[in-house]
Amino acid sequence: MKIKYVLLLTLLILVIGYSLGQFIPWEYLRPTVTDKQISINDYYTRLVSIIGAVATLFATMVALFKEDIKKLYEYASLEINYKDTNVLSEILDTESSGNSTTGGTLMAKKYEIAINISNAGKLAARTCQIYLEQLTFKNPTFPAPQEIQPSNKPLTWIGKTESAITIPSKAKAFVTIVEILSPESEIVQNSDSSPGKPQIKIAGNDLFFDNYHGLYECTFMIYSENASPKEFKLLLNWNGKWQHRLTEMKTCITVNSTTTRK
């Protein structure tokens, strides 16, 4: 942005200077033009002086705006994609798979939606954080969407203990944004959720409704110290039902998303 301002200011100065020279009769400022021929030595001397002046100006501009110039070809650029190609991933309950109640069949204990933040730029993206900025829930029985206040805390990255990380060039990091827990989960049974109902968590926020059927609109923001912020919008439509395997659960949920550079 600074380079644009410098170029505009330079152009403005040139226009003003040209206008002053053309329309204000300052005779003593006008150069004296003669038909006298100059020697070849004078010609090259003046040419070298002009080249030297231009080189000095160029070196000064580079010294003043070195970092801005580097950002034109060396920068961090964040891109957002789903971690799993199916969007919804299945976390199996391996501990209870051998129980007689399940007949030894593997069943899901929860489903997750995770995204990967990749750095396509040439520089490492420093202090990367992701926040849930806005969350609304719209139940088919209520015409007006319900605004839910997020926790305003940054999400924790998968495999990391901190919420602010550095993503090297051509590397990626993952974060879970949605979890749907099984009704048989210990977390659900020990919570205030009604028995026999699954529970949904968005960005770590526990949501409790009488009826989970509806549209969840989530707006996430990804920030970095040296990269442009990215907005990620997730639209999750869930009928509130639970299925024990991913194939059946995918019929209960539809997910859409958009990414915008801020």
Domains, in order of start, for the chain? 2-70 (no CATH), 78-261 (2.60.40)
Return mean pLDDT, the chain.
84
Tokens coding 29: 């400022």
Instruction: Provide the pLDDT for residue 46.
Output: 83
Contact between 167 and 78 under an 8 Å Cβ cutoff? The reply is yes
What is the mean predicted confidence (pLDDT) over 198-220? Answer: 89
Tell me the per-residue pLDDT of 138-153, one tens digit each, with 9 for 90 and over. 988 877 888 988 888 9
- Rounded CA-CA distance 173/166 in Å is 9
Q: Please give the residue that has the higher pLDDT: either 75 or 114.
A: 114
Q: Is the pLDDT at 16 greater than 90, yes or no?
A: no
Q: Please give the residue that has the higher pLDDT: either 192 or 17.
A: 17
- Rounded CA-CA distance 239/35 in Å is 90
Q: Is the pLDDT at 194 greater than 60, yes or no?
A: no
- Rounded CA-CA distance 4/12 in Å is 12
- Tokens 């020279």 belong to 21
Contact between 132 and 175 under an 8 Å Cβ cutoff? The reply is no
- Rounded CA-CA distance 80/139 in Å is 28
Q: Is the pLDDT at 34 greater than 90, yes or no?
A: no
- Rounded CA-CA distance 178/83 in Å is 12
What is the mean predicted confidence (pLDDT) over 88-110? Answer: 75
Q: Is the pLDDT at 199 greater than 70, yes or no?
A: yes
Instruction: Provide the pLDDT for residue 39.
Output: 82
| CA 17 to chain CA centroid, nearest Å | 44
| CA 224 to chain CA centroid, nearest Å | 8
